[in-house]
Structure 1
Amino acid sequence: MSRAREQAARWFSRMQNSDASHPQRAEFDAWLAASPEHRSEYQAFCELWGDFSSIPRSQALADALEQRRALKRRSVLRGGIGLFLLLGLGGYGLHSYRHGAFELPLQTRIGESLRHRLRDGSQVFLNADSRLQVMYGKVQRQILLLHGEAAFDVARDRQRPFIVDAGLAQVRVLGTHFVVSRLPERLRISVERGLVEVTSPRQSLQLRAGQVVEVAADGRLRRLAIAADNAFAFQNGRLVFEQADLAEIAAALSRHRQQPVRALPGGPRIDAVVQLDDIESFLQALPSIAAIRLTQDGESLLLGPAD
Structure 2
Amino acid sequence: MKPIDIKENKNPVESAQFGKTQDEPLSDKTHVQISDEATQWLLTIEEDDSENNQQALNAWLSLSAQHKKVYQQLQTLWEVADELPVDLFSEDLLGLSMTPSSAVNTSSRVNPYALKKESILAKFISFFTLRKTMYTASFASVIFATFITFTQYNREMVTTDKPLQVASSSTLRTNEYQTKLGEHKTITAQDGSIIVLAAKSQVFIDYSANRRDIHLLYGEALFTVEKDKERPFIVHNHGRSVQALGTIFNVRESKSAMQVSVLEGIVEVNVEPEVKSKVTNSSDKNQVATLVAGQALELDSLGQFSTTYAIEVNERMAWQDGRLNYVNTDLANVIFDLKRYSTLSIHIPNKQVANMGYTGSVIYDKVDDWLIALPYIFPVEVQRHGNSVVIVKRKE
- TM-score normalised by the chain length of structure 1: 0.62
Identical positions, percent: 31
CA contact (8 A) 2:342 2:364 kept: no
Amino acid of the structure 2 residue aligned with 1:136:
Y
Shift of 1:289: 3.2
Partner of 2:226: 155
- What CA distance in whole angstroms lies between the structure 2 residues aligned with 1:271 and 1:196? 25
What SS does structure 1 have at the residue aligned with 2:366?
helix
Equivalence map 1:98-247=2 (5 Å): 103-200=174-271, 201=276, 202=285, 203-227=287-311, 229=313, 232-247=317-332
CA contact (8 A) 2:185 2:197 kept: yes
Q: Can you give the 5+ residue segments of structure 1 that lack an aligned partner in the other structure?
A: 1-18, 20-89, 96-102
Q: Is the 8 A contact 1:250 1:303 kept in 2?
A: no
CA distance in 2, matches of 1:177, 1:261: 32
Moved more, 271-280 or 178-187: 271-280
Secondary structure in 1 matching 2:229: coil
Cα deviation per residue 1:45-67 (whole Å; 9 max; x = unaligned)?
A: xxxxxxxxxxxxxxxxxxxxxxx
**Structure 2 letter corresponding to 1:266:** Q
Structure 1: which 4+ aligned runs deviate by more than 6 Å?
Answer: none
Structure 1: which amino acid aligns with 2:352? Answer: G
Judge conservation of contact 1:212–1:228 (CA < 8 Å) in 2.
Answer: no
Contact 2:262 2:296 in 1 (8 A): yes
Paired AA for residue 205 in structure 1: A
- The one-letter amino acid of 1:255's match is R
C-alpha deviation, 1:299, in angstroms: 5.5
Cα drift, residue 303 of structure 1: 2.7
Question: What's the CA shift for 1:145?
Answer: 0.5
Is the 1:128–1:255 contact (alpha carbons within 8 Å) kept by the matching residues of 2? yes
Please give the alpha-carbon distance, in whole angstroms, between the structure 2 residues aligned to 1:144 and 1:189. 14
How far apart are 1:300 and its partner, in Å?
3.8
- Which residue number corresponds to residue 38 of structure 1? none
Aligned length: 210
Task: Tell whether the 8 Å contact from 2:293 to 2:313 is kept in structure 1 after alignment.
Answer: no
**Code of the aligned partner of 2:238:** G
Please state whether the residue corresponding to 1:248 is helix, strand or coil: helix
Residue 360 (structure 2) aligned to one of 268, 272, 294? 272
CA distance in 2, matches of 1:165, 1:125: 16
Change (3 A) 1:241 1:185: closer
TM-score, normalised with respect to structure 2:
0.49
Q: Which has the higher Rg, Structure 1 or Structure 2? A: 2
- TM-aligned CA deviation for residue 301 of structure 1: 2.1
- Alpha-carbon spacing, 1:249–1:91, altered in 2? closer, same or farther (3 Å): closer
**Within-5 A mapping of 1:41-80:** none
In 1, distance between residues paired with 2:292 and 2:191?
23
Name the structure where strand makes up a greater proportion of residues.
Answer: 1
State how far apart, in whole Å, the 2-side matches of 1:194 and 1:258 are: 36
**Residues 270 and 226 (structure 1), Cα distance of their counterparts in 2 relative to 1, 3 Å cut:** farther
The 3-state SS of whatever aligns with 1:129 is: coil
Unaligned runs of 5+ in 2: 1-86, 88-169, 277-284
Could you list the per-position Cα deviations for residues 93-139 of structure 1 after superposition, in whole angstroms to 9, with x for gaps in the alignment?
xx6xxxxxxx5111011111111222222111111111111111111
* TM-aligned CA distance change 1:229 to 1:278, over 3 Å: farther
Residue identity opposite 1:270 in structure 2 = Y
Q: Which residue of 2 is the match for residue 251 of structure 1?
A: 336
Post-superposition offset of 1:228:
5.7
